[in-house]
């Protein structure tokens, strides 16, 4: 037992060093969006000493009408690290700790289930997908997903009810997608009923009770439930009901070949494992068969999801695919079927040749993924956008009234602007669905001004309206509907809003510009001259 604990700590420490080195190679944060918001919000908690700090930083957002922090536990933990290590390195250290925990828990589960060569499986899992490595470098609450969901499966399969209850509470306090735990528990309950015709009510209550307990312990409980509903249900409903809100990268599909490139090595292991599982499962003891059926159901379900939303599914499918592969082959090789497979390889295949070939293939795939990630980091470090937005945000901070609202044409600019400037207020961020939920008409007005350069409060672009009047009304709409006097847009001559700002000199004047972004100010409206009396 003591040796196991020492080995687990060493594994965790090695991966923490690896991810810390990865974070050190990144100039600031590994993304130009969410990590900047999370770091700044956590820093403000540290500066003010207010653990429940939430302010209306966004006007078209739940922060203004249902204030809550959906990542409260994560921000509180990050504030602790920021207190000792500063904003950037405090965020990076916490992220490296969570990323390393995923692989330590993976190793722990393999050891607990007596899988041979657990460290080798862990290393292969670590380097199997450049998409996974990239996601694990993001300083975001989703880093909790890998360790928590794997641990939830392990605790559920071992019937550790109180530990599952505690885990569900912690996860709910830290991340608004905590109900994902129920996917794991539902698979366990389904398999139990299928094989044993039993329904483990205690398992269900442990998970549901933990989620409910986390909601009740959250400092903004009722608002938190509302945000959970919007983020879990509304986002999916609107995405697949045909309403295009320009939802962000988590929900964007990618070409099938790109998906295969991201998961090539896991698929090489997973598909033969699934075939072997279906071929040999009937002869296994119920204990092995039950837990592997659960892993099979979970991994198959997330693989289907990965075909639809591959970026979001990376951290859900990969760990369960590798757990399924490792545990399945461990069971197969311990049975008579495994002995026959070994004898077949020894008799018909020269293992002296095949084994080095397999090791070389795995090594090449691992190396390709690591090289691709290194190239991605190098490209990100040379991206001028963060510095350009920093200049614009600092100009706004020093040249506009405090808490004045800034209009901008891309919701993903907000985290960077907020990181460098908390004096101003902003329109929308985090997720466009939140602006749509705030006010449908106002969202379409913002969207049409930002994308098309004219005023329209409908999704169809108001085809019967006068385009001249719609363009002429941009300044009035931004001032009166959004209470904003300053507009930040990308320095792009092909942008319709940019063209309007340049052409309508009677309405706008340029007050700031660099290679990436420009800021325009709305001019005071000209008074209408008095009309002569007809009498």
pLDDT: which is higher, 255 or 452? 452
| pLDDT interval class at 264 (50, 70, 90) | confident
The yes-or-no verdict on residue 136 having pLDDT over 80 is: yes
For helices 264-280 and 286-308, the axis angle rounded to 10 degrees is 140
Q: What is the pLDDT of residue 255?
A: 60
- Segment holding 347, helix H or strand E: helix 336-348
Mean pLDDT, the chain, whole residue set: 86
The yes-or-no verdict on residue 344 having pLDDT over 90 is: no
Out of 162-166, 252-256, 385-389, 512-516, pick the least confident.
252-256
69-96: average pLDDT:
96
170-190: average pLDDT:
92
In 289-400, DSSP assigns E strands to: none
pLDDT: which is higher, 454 or 470? 454
pLDDT of 198-225, one tens digit each? 888 999 999 999 999 999 999 999 999 9
pLDDT of 421-455, one tens digit each? 999 999 988 888 888 888 889 999 999 999 989 99
DSSP letter, residue 175? -
170-185: average pLDDT:
93
Distance set, CA 178 to CA 70, 74, 103, 210 (Å): 10, 12, 20, 10
240-261: average pLDDT:
62
For residues 488 and 408, is the Cβ–Cβ distance under 8 A? yes
Out of 31-45, 70-84, 232-246, 502-516, pick the least confident.
232-246
Percentage of the chain with pLDDT > 70?
88
Q: How far apart are CA 176 and CA 234, in angstroms?
A: 14
Q: What is the pLDDT of residue 189?
A: 92
Q: What is the pLDDT of residue 311?
A: 64
Q: How far apart are CA 377 and CA 30, in angstroms?
A: 8
Q: What is the pLDDT of residue 77?
A: 96
Q: What is the pLDDT of residue 421?
A: 95
Out of 79-83, 298-302, 307-311, 363-367, pick the least confident.
307-311
Please enumerate in sequence order all residues whose Cβ is within 8 A of that of 11, keeping only pairs 6 or more positions apart, or say none.
Answer: 103, 104, 107, 119, 122
225-232: average pLDDT:
87
The yes-or-no verdict on residue 464 having pLDDT over 70 is: yes
Q: What is the pLDDT of residue 527?
A: 57
How would you list the strands of the sheet with 484-490, edge to edge?
Answer: 425-426, 405-408, 484-490, 517-522, 508-513
Q: What is the pLDDT of residue 302?
A: 87
Closest CA to 341 of 293, 287, 421, 276: 276
Closest CA to 129 of 308, 295, 303, 259: 259
Q: Max Cα separation, the chain?
A: 113
pLDDT: which is higher, 364 or 518? 518
- For 375-433, give the secondary structure using H, E and C: HHHHHHHCCCHHHHHHHHHHHHHHHCCCCCEEEECCHHHHHHHHHHCCCCEECCCCCHH
Sign of CA dihedral 84, 86, 87, 89: negative
| pLDDT interval class at 185 (50, 70, 90) | very high
The yes-or-no verdict on residue 261 having pLDDT over 80 is: no
19-48: average pLDDT:
92
Helix ranges (H only) for 158-255 are: 161-174, 181-196, 201-217, 221-229, 235-240
């Amino acid at each position: 037992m003591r040796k196991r604990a020492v080995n687990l700590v060493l594994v965790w420490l090695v991966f923490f060093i690896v991810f810390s080195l990865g974070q050190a190679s990144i100039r600031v944060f590994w993304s130009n969006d969410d990590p900047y918001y999370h770091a700044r919000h956590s820093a403000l908690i540290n500066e003010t000493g207010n653990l429940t700090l939430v302010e209306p930083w966004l006007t078209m957002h739940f922060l203004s009408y249902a204030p809550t922090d959906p990542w409260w536990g994560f921000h509180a933990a990050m504030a602790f690290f920021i207190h000792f290590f500063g904003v950037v390195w405090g965020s990076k250290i916490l992220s490296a700790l969570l990323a390393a925990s995923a692989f330590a828990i993976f190793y722990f589960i393999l050891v607990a289930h007596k899988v041979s060569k657990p460290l080798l499986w862990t290393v292969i899992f670590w380097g199997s997908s450049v998409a996974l490595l990239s996601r694990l470098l993001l300083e975001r609450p989703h880093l909790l997903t890998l360790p928590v969901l794997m641990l939830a499966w392990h605790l559920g399969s071992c019937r550790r009810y109180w530990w599952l209850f505690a885990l569900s509470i912690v996860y709910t306090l830290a991340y608004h997608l905590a109900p994902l735990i129920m996917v794991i528990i539902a698979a366990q309950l389904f398999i139990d009923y299928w094989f044993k015709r039993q329904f483990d009510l205690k398992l269900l209550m442990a998970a549901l009770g933990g989620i409910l307990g986390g909601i009740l312990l959250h400092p903004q409980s009722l608002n938190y439930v509302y945000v959970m509903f919007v983020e879990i249900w509304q986002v999916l409903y609107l995405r697949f009901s045909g309403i295009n809100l320009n939802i962000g990268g988590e929900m964007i599909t990618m070409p099938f070949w790109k998906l295969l490139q991201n998961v090539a090595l896991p698929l090489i292991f997973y598909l033969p494992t699934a075939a072997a599982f279906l071929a040999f499962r009937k002869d296994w003891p119920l204990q092995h068969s039950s837990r592997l059926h659960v892993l099979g159901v979970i991994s198959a379900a997330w693989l289907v999801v990965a075909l639809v939303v591959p970026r979001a599914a990376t951290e859900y499918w990969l760990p369960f695919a590798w757990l399924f592969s490792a545990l399945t082959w461990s069971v197969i090789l311990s049975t008579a079927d495994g002995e026959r497979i070994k004898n077949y390889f020894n008799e018909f295949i020269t293992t002296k040749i095949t084994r080095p070939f397999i090791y070389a293939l795995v090594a090449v795939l691992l190396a390709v993924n690591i090289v691709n990630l290194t190239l991605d980091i190098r490209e990100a470090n040379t991206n001028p956008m963060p510095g350009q937005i920093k200049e614009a945000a600092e100009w706004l901070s020093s040249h506009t009234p405090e808490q004045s609202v800034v209009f901008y044409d891309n919701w993903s600019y907000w985290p960077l602007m907020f990181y460098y400037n908390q004096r101003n207020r902003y329109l929308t961020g985090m997720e466009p669905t939140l602006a749509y939920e705030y006010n449908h008409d106002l969202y379409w007005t913002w969207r049409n001004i930002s994308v098309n350069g004219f005023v329209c409060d409908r999704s169809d672009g108001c085809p019967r309206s006068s385009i001249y009047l719609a363009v002429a009304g941009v300044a009035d709409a931004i001032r009166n509907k959004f209470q904003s006097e300053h507009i930040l847009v990308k320095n792009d001559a092909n942008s319709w809003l940019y063209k309007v700002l340049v052409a309508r000199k009677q309405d706008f004047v340029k007050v700031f510009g660099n290679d990436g972004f420009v800021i325009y100010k709305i001019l005071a409206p000209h008074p209408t001259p008095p009309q002569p009396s007809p009498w």
